[in-house]
Amino acid sequence: MGKTKISNLFANGSSHYILPKSNTIRQTLVDRPSSHKDRFPFSLFGLFRRFIPSRKVDGGSKTEDEQKVYSWLYTLAQTDKNLVFEYVRSTERGLSFREAERRLRENGPNVPLEYSFPRWWSLLWNALFHPFNIILIILSVMSFIARDSPNGFIMLVLVFISVTLRFYQEYSSSKAAMKLSEFVKCPIKVQRCAGRVVQKELIVQVDHRDVVPGDIVIFEPGDLFPGDIRLLSSKQLVVSQASLTGESWTTDKASDIREDYNTPLLDLKNICFMGTNVVSGTGTGLVVSTGSKTYMSTMFSKVGKKKPPDDFEKGLRWIFYLIISVMLVVVTILFVVNYLTSLNLTQSVIFAISVASVLNPQMLPLIINTCLAKGALAMAKDRCIVKSLTSIRDMGSMDILCIDKTGSLTMNHAVMVNHLDYRGLPQEKVLRYAFLNSYFKTDQKYPLDDAILAFVYSNGFRFRPSLWRKIDEIPFDFIRRRVSVILETEDRHSKFFGRFMVTKGALLEVLKVCSFIENFEQDEISPFSFDDYQRILNLSEDISNEGLRILGVAIRKLEMEHLSDYFRLHVTLQTQTCETSNGSKREDEDIEKDMVFLGLITFFDPPKDTAKQALWRLCEKGVKAKVLTGDSLSLTTRVCREVGISTDHVITGPELELLDQDTFHETVKRATVLARLTPIQKLHVVQSLQTVGNHVVGFLGDGVNDSLALDAANVSISVDSGVAIAKDMADIILLEKDLNVLVAGVEHGRFTFGNTMKYVKMSVIANLGSVISLLIATLIFKYEPLTSTQLLTQNFIYSVGQIAIAWDKMDEEYVKTPHKSSERGLSMFILWNGSVCTLCDVATLMLLWFYYKAYTDVTQKFFHSAWFIEGVLLQTFIIHLIRTEKIPFMQEVASWPVIFSTVLTSAIGIALPFTPIGKVMGFSLLPLSYFGFLFILFLGYFIVGHVVKRLYILVYKRWL
């Protein structure tokens, strides 16, 4: 391994080294403390800031921890490999076992994220203390104290249902982050040194959790890198970074390279990252970062952060504060007035609790969960598994869908497009030899070979491979990046008679071995000139800009003397190394020389047939698509054009890195295609759209590199074939990777959101209107408008009837656009429409006072009966006024469950005073004239309500 260049590692003439106690370089680059971090004033200010919500997004800028990791890795990438040992306080022999144990204790286990499960009682506590649950619990306790057990029991049942559902969802989702530490779990070969006097280098296997900075690891094909690594040696090393970038293509790595700051981090050739894996080749590397200091940790440290509440949750919180405020004022007044009138404390308390119960939308948790469960069942029929019920509602509000290109828009497999000569014209001879190369190669079959064979067979070409015989093969390697087969045919009647070497591979590597070029136009072979070379490069650049992949094809006709040279060289090559330890090529003469360049084979990952239609349908519903991918810009742009996504505004990840915050947010807002993004950049894009753009964002992804964006998105969507981490992070899992399924999901989400908003707005308006009317009636009549039993019975009848809203239908116009809840919109809606309910109740009071003279103690039963029926009917018919912006029963009719519920609830409410139960409850019979008045009253209610509705829509341009 060579002599160490660190003199201070060896002391007192002993070979046993003593590591320095500190390292100023690493402290400066990685562990630099903040000068204000530990001061009391700043800590106190930080404590107060925890209670202040922040909407700031860093955009393209890096956090302090990210900047430390970037600086550390760039410093090592620019340093000669023989000097990097000093940075991590190691030697070329590796660490001793004792030192490795000490570092493991100091640094902790080598996992990118330390995640501890919240205790089950903590989750239960959070689920229990929901604002509406608190109201219901308090009212239930008060009901039991006042000996009103039935109402108290009903409210406790509602609390139990709500808490159980929320606890189950949060407990299931809390396990997702633990998957992150599992996907790098594997044994690692580490070089350690042992011995007191004479140290020996030993190769041992340790668990990836026990790897520490300073370890030297040995890797081969299939191995995962256990940390961020600076390469010490490499031999034909090819690495897959798909877990970090999402790109399906591999990248070459080399140890003898010194990078600079202009190279994007993930493109550094001498740095390998935790979680990536070796595709081919071997090598050794020095572990420079583990655990929370790796690049991967900058990704996963953001996983599991609590999302800010969405607009719907904010609206519910506002309703909670409104109800509490009204409850404290109105219920207190009612209690005082009732007590001063009746001088009965128990009766006054029970009446106040009953009014508070009426004011609280008791069925809200049940209605919300019923709507969501109904939506989940509907989506299950469309082959969607819904893990988080609230995501269905968010999908209805979603107005931007961020999708990855590979597999979402494309088929995720290569299809051959054309076979061209150096002028860009199709030539069958190019296809023939490319086919023979793919047909006879046996060392490794790649997807591109299958694409060539499929193209030939599906287009009816008859190249008759049975007439050819394979002599030998020079397999593909990642240094030559080409494969050659030697074939011969004895068909003397064919112009292809003889022995040929057929080579296919990366264009530049094929051009290196070509001395001639076939001119198909003049049917001759001419020397390979510089103009020909430049023409081919220009052609390949144009093709690459169209998003196509390219392979070059060349041949050489072999004579017997060439074959004897080949066999002599082939035996030599089998005993020699294709690449030296420092990465230089062998100097031996190669049989792949003086070849004739035939042309190019082009490939494409085609878009799905359903993608364009699905994106168009999403656009019609107001959902804009943005493509966030780690693939190249040219390829992504080509696919986007074919599926109908605008490519006028495109940008890449390295370009985003250079932008300041304001420019970053503006660029993200305009861009429709964002390519070569890192996982952290995907996260920043999603957060920018959410906070600065105020959008409801959905994200469709299936890889580890998508986990951050999935965790941050309002609606996270993965597929059944995705990796475990992506599925754990996702709210919705598609059993079919088809965007048309998402269109159906958006429709179900809007039905769910619309029906939920119907109940929220209707219940708040009706309940507030009823309580205000009760206050007015109590102040005027000086006695209870309804007894506590009558009030709770009335509330129970229409509350049960409102459950049918979950099965209602929505206007077609409503489903066409996304909708969001807003606190201001809800307050204005209540202010405009709540007065209509109160007006209807006041009209009933005026009739009972002036026409029926029901203002004495003798007429209390009559007043109770009349007010009871009017209240039940008003709370029942308000559904039809609120549910649509059209004229109810004329332009739009509700679904049959809602109609049936309306008829049944109305019939029960009208019939109850005429039954024996009604007599027990203190009701009396009503004259037919009162029902005639109710008919006129509700006719006027619908007319006035619709006029107010039209004025509201005219001002605010929306209804629900």
One DSSP character per residue, 707-768 reads HHHHHHSSEEEEETTS-HHHHHH-SEEESS--HHHHHHHHHHHHHHHHHHHHHHHHHHHHHH
Q: Which residue among the candidates 210, 404, 728, 731 is catalytic per the annotation? A: 404
End-to-end alpha carbon distance in the chain: 73
pLDDT for 170 equals 57
pLDDT for 590 equals 63
Q: Say if 46 falls within a structural domain.
A: no
CA distances from 660 to 65, 179, 664, 679, 693 (A): 18, 34, 6, 19, 16
Q: Say if 150 falls within a structural domain.
A: yes
CA distances from 745 to 271, 377, 383, 819 (A): 42, 11, 10, 15
β-strand partners of 469: 488
545 and 424 within one domain: yes
List the CATH number of the domain containing 597.
3.40.1110.10
Close Cβ partners of 466 (under 8 Å, ≥ 6 residues apart): none
Q: Tell whether the model's pLDDT for residue 841 goes beyond 50.
A: yes
Domain boundary among 304, 324, 351: 304
615 and 545 within one domain: no
685 and 822 within one domain: no
Close Cβ partners of 336 (under 8 Å, ≥ 6 residues apart): none
Domain boundary among 604, 636, 655: 604
Mean pLDDT for 239-254 is: 75
Q: Say if 111 falls within a structural domain.
A: yes
The values of phi and psi at residue 420, to 5°, are: -120, 150
pLDDT for 246 equals 62
Q: How many domains does the chain have?
A: 4
Note the pTM of the prediction, 2 decimals: 0.69
780 and 640 within one domain: no
547 and 440 within one domain: yes
778 and 634 within one domain: no
pLDDT for 511 equals 92
* CA distance linking residue 252 with residue 275, whole number of Å: 16
The 3-class secondary structure across 817-883, one letter per residue, is CCCCCCHHHHHHHHHHHHHHHHHHHHHHHHHHHHCCCCCCHHHHHHHHHHHHHHHHHHHHHHHHHHC
Q: Say if 464 falls within a structural domain.
A: yes
CA distances from 947 to 567, 813, 958 (A): 95, 20, 14
HSE value, Cβ hemisphere, 13 Å, CA-based, for 537 = 10
Contact 359, 768 (CB under 8 A): yes
Most confident segment among 171-185, 328-342, 513-527: 513-527
702 is catalytic: no
Q: Say if 123 falls within a structural domain.
A: yes
State both tokens at 31.
């562990």
Q: Tell whether the model's pLDDT for residue 118 goes beyond 80.
A: no
Q: Tell whether the model's pLDDT for residue 380 goes beyond 80.
A: no
- Lowest-pLDDT range of 553-557, 599-603, 703-707, 889-893: 703-707
List the CATH number of the domain containing 657.
3.40.50.1000
The values of phi and psi at residue 520, to 5°, are: -70, -30
Domain of 843 in residue numbering reads as 364-383+748-956
Mean pLDDT for 893-919 is: 90
Helices 364-381 and 149-173 cross at an angle (nearest 10°) of 40
Q: Say if 598 falls within a structural domain.
A: yes
894 and 822 within one domain: yes
Spell out where 421-529 has E strands: 468-474, 482-489, 498-505, 514-519, 524-527
Top-confidence residue, 537 or 573: 537
The values of phi and psi at residue 614, to 5°, are: -65, -40
Quote the Cα angle for 572-576-582, to 5°: 145
Q: Tell whether the model's pLDDT for residue 388 goes beyond 60.
A: yes
763 and 721 within one domain: no
pLDDT digits (tens, 9 = 90+) for 652-667: 888 888 888 889 999 9
505 and 451 within one domain: yes
Mean pLDDT for 482-486 is: 91
The values of phi and psi at residue 34, to 5°, are: -80, 140
808 and 722 within one domain: no
Q: Tell whether the model's pLDDT for residue 148 goes beyond 70.
A: no
pLDDT for 857 equals 67
Domain boundary among 284, 304, 324: 304
Q: Say if 32 falls within a structural domain.
A: no
State both tokens at 267.
């493109």
* CA distance linking residue 765 with residue 411, whole number of Å: 51
pLDDT for 287 equals 93
Longest dimension (CA), the chain: 127
Q: Tell whether the model's pLDDT for residue 63 goes beyond 80.
A: no
Residue 485, SS3 per DSSP: strand
Kindly report the average pLDDT of the chain as a whole number: 78
Q: How much of the chain exceeds pLDDT 90, in percent?
A: 15
* CA distance linking residue 736 with residue 731, whole number of Å: 15
Q: Say if 842 falls within a structural domain.
A: yes
pLDDT digits (tens, 9 = 90+) for 577-609: 333 333 334 433 467 888 999 999 998 878 877
Q: Tell whether the model's pLDDT for residue 564 goes beyond 70.
A: no
872 and 756 within one domain: yes
765 and 723 within one domain: no
In this structure, what is the dihedral angle of CA atoms 906, 908, 911, 915, given to the nearest 10 degrees? -170
List the CATH number of the domain containing 294.
2.70.150.10
Nearest to 745, CA basis, from 610, 618, 612: 618
DSSP-derived secondary structure for 355-398? HHHHHS-TTHHHHHHHHHHHHHHHHHHTTEEES-THHHHHHHH-
Residue 808, SS3 per DSSP: coil
Top-confidence residue, 118 or 943: 943
